[in-house]
Amino acid sequence: MSEEHNLGAVASQFQIGGEFLSAALYGNGHINDTYRAVFKQQGAPVNYILQRINTNVFKNPVALMENVQRVTAHLAAQVAGEPDRDRRVLRLIPTRDGGGWHVDAEGGYWRAYYFIQKARTYEAVESTGQAFQAASAFGQFQKLLANLPPPRLQDTIPDFHNTPKRFVALEQAIAADAAGRAILAKPEIEFALAHKSITSALLDAKLPERVTHNDTKFNNVMLDDVTGEAICVIDLDTVMPGLALYDFGDMVRTTTSPALEDERDLSKVTMQFPMFEALVRGYLAAAGGFLTKAEKQFLTFSGKLITFEIGIRFLTDYLAGDTYFKVHREGHNLDRCRTQFKLVESIEQQEEKMNRLVESVEQ
């Protein structure tokens, strides 16, 4: 339970019936504050999600919420005829005065979602079936948003996946060494600098701009408790124009290793080939129809690049003194950086085989 916020008062701003019972921090996101709020309705507890948007990260929360409104409305219209439609798309709850979000006295931006019942997220992948499900859900997500009517979605974070710019930010953080930690991260800095040559390849390839999720972490898709089916893609703050491969790359980053993102025992971090195969098959089953040949050729590479990119973002934040990602222990961002770089190495060792697999699935 947060000491800082009166969560009952915040919850009462939204069109939720019944009596507010409690609210507590929920989930493992690195950016926003997510709470599960419980209301008593007809004698029974009912869950809701309340989120406070991190405005240090998202400088224009109104643009963000306008994107989320358009995206959720478009997706809802597309699945309207399907069974279980209420669990397949995030549904915002309006405020009592009919708005899409609430601004508190401190200027904090809040939103509420219906709780997706009988489904859950996982911090690490457990089976190839889960990997297939996640990849087909994110592929389907891109497919359903391909016909989003204009205007172009707003960039909630400009240059979010611009790896060359992320690399420049790292170089600046190394030079500034604001927290005096560069000495503690020498091997990681060396690893990063040695990989500069890969940073611009996706942008140089001139691939088509699409509407993409941009944060396709495995814990951003909810799997049904009973069937294991991917039921709902969540965490829509970064849905904006991007490359399809940003999404596939982040799936490889988060859905092929059995280890947690902050695992300290690096021997556990490895790119498991069967998980990669399941991702390729799941993603192409949903998205193969609209992806170009050039996009398909970069599937393996995108996994390496996005893993490297998030690795340098963790390293940059470590050097800057942990100003962006939430941290829960000393050296947390450095631990996260190390798992990413270990995974990059593991991908490099298997890159040819991964590319051969992609070619064989395509045919």
Which of residues 65, 68, 173, 234 is near ligand ADP by CB under 6 A? 234
Residue with tokens 């904006």: 240
Is 286 an interacting residue with respect to ligand ADP (CB under 6 A)?
A: no
Q: Which stretch binds ligand GN1 (CB under 6 A): 70-78, 145-153, 213-221, 267-275?
A: 213-221
Is 217 an interacting residue with respect to ligand GN1 (CB under 6 A)?
A: yes
Among ligand GN1, ligand ADP, Mg ion, none, residue 23 binds (CB under 5-8 Å by kind)? none
Q: Which residues of 70-80 are buried (b: 16+ CB within 10 A; e: fewer)?
A: bbbebbeebbe
Is 125 an interacting residue with respect to ligand GN1 (CB under 6 A)?
A: no
What does the radius of gyration of the chain's CA atoms come to, in whole angstroms? 20
Cβ(141)–Cβ(133) under 8 Å? no
Q: How many helices (H) and strands (E) does the chain have?
A: 12, 10
* 237/295 with CB nearer ligand GN1: 237
Which of residues 188, 224, 235, 335 is near ligand ADP by CB under 6 A? 235
Helices (H), the chain: 7-11, 61-78, 85-88, 128-145, 163-176, 186-194, 201-204, 244-255, 273-287, 293-297, 299-320, 332-362
For residues 75 to 104, the per-residue mask of contacts with ligand ADP, x marking binding by CB under 6 A and - elsewhere, is ---------------x--------------
Nearest residue to ligand ADP, using CB? 29
Q: Which residues of 100-123 are buried (b: 16+ CB within 10 A; e: fewer)?
A: bbbeeeeebbbbbbbbbeebebee
Distances (CA, A) of 253 to 6, 186, 216, 269, 341: 37, 23, 9, 11, 10
Is 90 an interacting residue with respect to ligand GN1 (CB under 6 A)?
A: no
- For CA atoms 207, 209, 212, 217, the dihedral sign is positive
**360 CB neighbour count, 10 Å cutoff:** 10
Q: Concatenated DSSP letters for 142-167?
A: HHHHTTPPSSPPP-SSTTTT-HHHHH
* 160/273 with CB nearer ligand GN1: 160
Rounded Cα distance, 22 and 33, in Å: 16
* 192/239 with CB nearer ligand ADP: 239
Of 253, 246, 353, give the one whose Cα is nearest residue 304.
Answer: 253
Is 29 an interacting residue with respect to ligand ADP (CB under 6 A)?
A: yes
Residue with tokens 């988060």: 254
Is 18 an interacting residue with respect to ligand ADP (CB under 6 A)?
A: no
Of 337, 361, 162, give the one whose Cα is nearest residue 280.
Answer: 361
Of 118, 91, 306, give the one whose Cα is nearest residue 223.
Answer: 118
* 90/211 with CB nearer ligand ADP: 90
Q: Which stretch binds ligand ADP (CB under 6 A): 31-39, 62-70, 131-139, 269-277?
A: 31-39
Among Mg ion, ligand GN1, ligand ADP, none, residue 90 binds (CB under 5-8 Å by kind)? ligand ADP
Is 220 an interacting residue with respect to ligand ADP (CB under 6 A)?
A: yes
Contacts with ligand ADP in 98-157 (CB under 6 A)? Answer: 113, 115-116, 121
Of 279, 281, 286, 268, give the one whose Cα is nearest residue 335.
Answer: 268
Contacts with Mg ion in 15-34 (CB under 5 A)? Answer: 29
* 14/113 with CB nearer ligand ADP: 113
For residues 235 to 254, the per-residue mask of contacts with Mg ion, x marking binding by CB under 5 A and - elsewhere, is x-------------------
Residues that bind ligand GN1 (CB under 6 A): 29-31, 57, 215, 217, 220, 235, 238, 261, 310
Residues that bind Mg ion (CB under 5 A): 29, 220, 235
Residues that bind ligand ADP (CB under 6 A): 26-27, 29, 31-32, 34, 49, 90, 113, 115-116, 121, 219-220, 234-235, 237
